[in-house]
A and B are shown apart, each in its own frame.
Chain A
């Protein structure tokens, strides 16, 4: 079937681009190997971590680092993208709250405080400036959930000056005995009896300890988390907030789900499980891509393409032991730090980040891929998100911001 635009990759960048094009009335398909970065990250929107005012910092950054994806997409694209993504989330009853001009400080499952610009409404009550109002916070979990440990979270919060205590709740009777992954527990929270039983336990703890807030693992339902939070607040008499846990990320799955709904509504198609192996084009046009399928490849045709396959983590880039880094879908030229010996810092958590993770595709102002001589490889391809060169989405704390801004830009070009 012929599409006007095919987007390769179903992370935030790809889905944002697809939504933009579908809403302009194009026939759009999202073609992705599988689920990806939405399901791993915390489910918040990081714009720029190392500044109280991320938008201000980004305004400066576009001046000083013209090759940074933010500079290519433009600050206006970022702002419009934020408005659009909030609309997408709002449409499924899952509002994202925050402010591009001021980072929130959110407690993590280690009890550290992590800056991010927008969080789902289910998390916002845990923001550090609120926690610091002098009233005690309870961090509560379940022993059965091996990805959330209230005592350590509470102790680390106390060490940073926030009154907090950690406690394990008793698992309400369920037919399950063995398996309590975050997603499994999220499904349990969709049962009224389950949350009622936990709500009663929380209410008793609040009566005894006078807690103003309760932090729970971010597993409070897959599809109706805002409702669950509201109900637990009513039952317990305290403000509830979610704290993200290890992958898979339930808040991330909710974001993915919100985009899935928006794309379906806009008439776009999603083909998950289609692994793009190669493209076919004659410079400067990409004509077709081929995805892996049973027994033979599937050919896809489109006028315009968006490459949103991610970086090393997403699988869009793959490094060989010889020191070569390949772009996996279309074989585009990759900008890579010289030899393998320069790829890494000696310290894992070195503030500067590891140079290899700044590898990526160089693009022009319209996000079209460039070769080593800065010539456009394909005029009908836009590259978005973490596949782009010259930035480190995790260390700069701009994973979602860049994905949304560049994805939005590609949706409007």
Chain B
């Protein structure tokens, strides 16, 4: 067992039982189906024994938002312990069809994306259809399902003509959401990167595997990650940064997949070390004085929610740091723990209301702001915010592109 693996499995030893994680946990705050991270994490871990029956049930209610890891003063890898414990439940009791389905964002996206998307989207907006979906596969009838795009990001990119002045290269990891549901986010990212003098390369890629991890399907998650590593490692080896707009995809490449799935090969580590969230990347340019600052003023006051998955990168607030360079733009931080969707958690019939309750603080803040637009880096969080508040939401990269005056 290598030291990375040990640092995870043995991290329960650091727990001093202080309850800080439980006090901060947004899920335990709204439901007592979840007894809190201390209990299901380092505490329950002492009672687990591989090869014996799984004693757990309530750990399934962990949303994986990682707020516990963030506030823990001692360094227990609570969220990772929980993810593994959940995988044990799946291994013993099987994966419900619903979890299988929501965990396969790419597959569902591929099936629904394309010219037939409007029809499908329309169908999914109909109450009877959603009722049937809830009954048959357990996705809550009100849960925010994304609208499929009429075209994929990759298809657009193939036709996209890049400027020829580029001096440096980056590889773009778009993730499922950008490819199938929100190609415009990818377009904004490409525009910003090209504006800053980068040639953007588009590696082959598939789903990062996070939905599979959070639904406990480690087998499928492992093959997804291995395929991505194989596709990305040559870029990383050449020193070409891998940049993504989905904070959870980049976190999965950097850390979640290697740690939770115990994948520690050299290639995995090289890809992890070469992957950046887009604003992390732009901030590092800014720190070196290499980010273009030819911004047009944007006289707006906008609510901004940093997703829990972004905070889990443990980098502070890169998007806030970069957007603060735009003259006139004032961002109001949500200071909310989580929007409640936590990837696929809030879609599930039995967890939808928990997710909505978790996000209540954020939704209040967005509504009180009076703004017609909210910013958030993660796709599922944006959908949840818009679903709960009716306020439109954008990725911060879209505002940055706008500040640069870039045509999309």
Residues of A within 8 A of B (CB): 1-2, 29, 33-36, 39-40, 176-179, 181, 183-184, 187, 247-248, 253, 260, 264, 269, 271-275, 291-296, 298, 301, 314-315
Contacts and interface: CB of A to CB of B under 8 A. Distances in A.
A253 B311 CA distance: 21
Contacts of B70: 34, 272-273
Contacts of B335: 260, 264
A211 to B, nearest CB: 31
Contact of B71 (A264, A273, A314): A273
Among B36, B254, B272, B315, chain A packs the most CB atoms within 10 A around the CB of B315
Given A1-B321, A176-B32, A35 B287 contact: no
A200 B314 CA distance: 47
B69 interface: yes
Nearest to A183: B23
Q: Which 8 A-B pairs have the closest CB atoms?
A: A273-B70, A295-B254, A179-B32, A34-B73, A294-B255, A293-B314, A271-B316, A248-B23
Given A177-B32, A273-B311, A1 B73 contact: no
A170 B398 CA distance: 53
A274 B20 contact: no
Contact of B18 (A40, A271, A291): A40
Contact of B273 (A35, A36, A178, A295): A295
Nearest to B272: A295
B73 A33 contact: yes
Contacts of B20: 34-36, 39, 247-248
A39 B74 CA distance: 13
Contact of A35 (B29, B71, B314): B71
Given A176-B32, A184-B29, A248 B18 contact: yes
A271 B311 CA distance: 9
A360 B272 CA distance: 37
B275 interface: yes
A246 B275 CA distance: 42
Contacts of A269: 316-317
B29 A187 contact: yes
A181 B22 contact: yes
B71 A1 contact: no
Given A34-B71, A181-B23, A184-B29, A298 B321 contact: no
A293 B321 contact: no
A178 B57 CA distance: 15
Contacts of B314: 273-275, 291-294, 298
B362 interface: no
B251 interface: yes
A179 B255 contact: no
B316 A33 contact: no
A253 B20 CA distance: 10
Given A269-B316, A298-B315, A1 B283 contact: yes
B145 interface: no
A296 B281 CA distance: 13
Contacts, number: 101
7 contacts: A29-B316, A178-B32, A247-B20, A264-B335, A273-B71, A274-B314, A295-B275
A255 B149 CA distance: 48
B114 interface: no
B341 to A, nearest CB: 20
Interface string B264-290: 000000001101000000010011000
Contact of B72 (A34, A178, A271, A294): A34
Given A181-B23, A247-B19, A298-B314, A314 B73 contact: yes
Contacts of B74: 34, 315
Contacts of A33: 72-73, 75
Nearest to A310: B73
Contacts of B29: 183-184, 187
A292 B259 CA distance: 15
Contacts of B28: 179, 181, 184
Contacts of B72: 33-34
Contacts of B23: 39, 181, 183, 248, 253
A248 B19 contact: yes
Contacts of A294: 251, 254-255, 272, 312-315
Nearest to A273: B70
Nearest to A187: B29
Contacts of B146: none
Nearest to A39: B20
Interface string B304-319: 0000000111111100
A39 B75 contact: no
A177 B33 CA distance: 9
Contacts of A187: 29
Contacts of A181: 19, 22-23, 28, 36
A260 B335 CA distance: 10
A167 B253 CA distance: 55
A293 B69 CA distance: 12
B71 A275 contact: no
A40 B23 CA distance: 11
Contacts of B287: 1-2, 301
B24 interface: yes
Among B18, B73, B283, B333, chain A packs the most CB atoms within 10 A around the CB of B73
B35 interface: yes
Interface in B312-351: 312-317, 321, 333, 335
Given A183-B29, A275-B314, 8 more contacts: A1-B321, A33-B73, A34-B74, A273-B70, A293-B313, A294-B312, A295-B275, A298-B316
A2 B325 CA distance: 13
A310 B388 CA distance: 41
Interface string B1-45: 000000000000000001110111000110010011000000000
A36 B73 contact: yes
Nearest to B69: A273
A274 B316 contact: yes
Given A1-B321, A295-B254, A179 B36 contact: yes
A264 B286 CA distance: 23
Nearest to A1: B321
Among B69, B70, B275, B287, chain A packs the most CB atoms within 10 A around the CB of B70
Among A29, A187, A275, chain B packs the most CB atoms within 10 A around the CB of A275
A314 to B, nearest CB: 7
B36 A247 contact: no
B290 to A, nearest CB: 14
Among B22, B272, B283, chain A packs the most CB atoms within 10 A around the CB of B22
Contacts of A296: 273
B69 to A, nearest CB: 7
A295 B71 CA distance: 19
Nearest to A275: B75
Contacts of B286: 1
Contacts of A2: 287
A122 B20 CA distance: 22
A337 to B, nearest CB: 22
A294 B316 CA distance: 12
Given A271-B316, A314-B73, A178 B22 contact: no
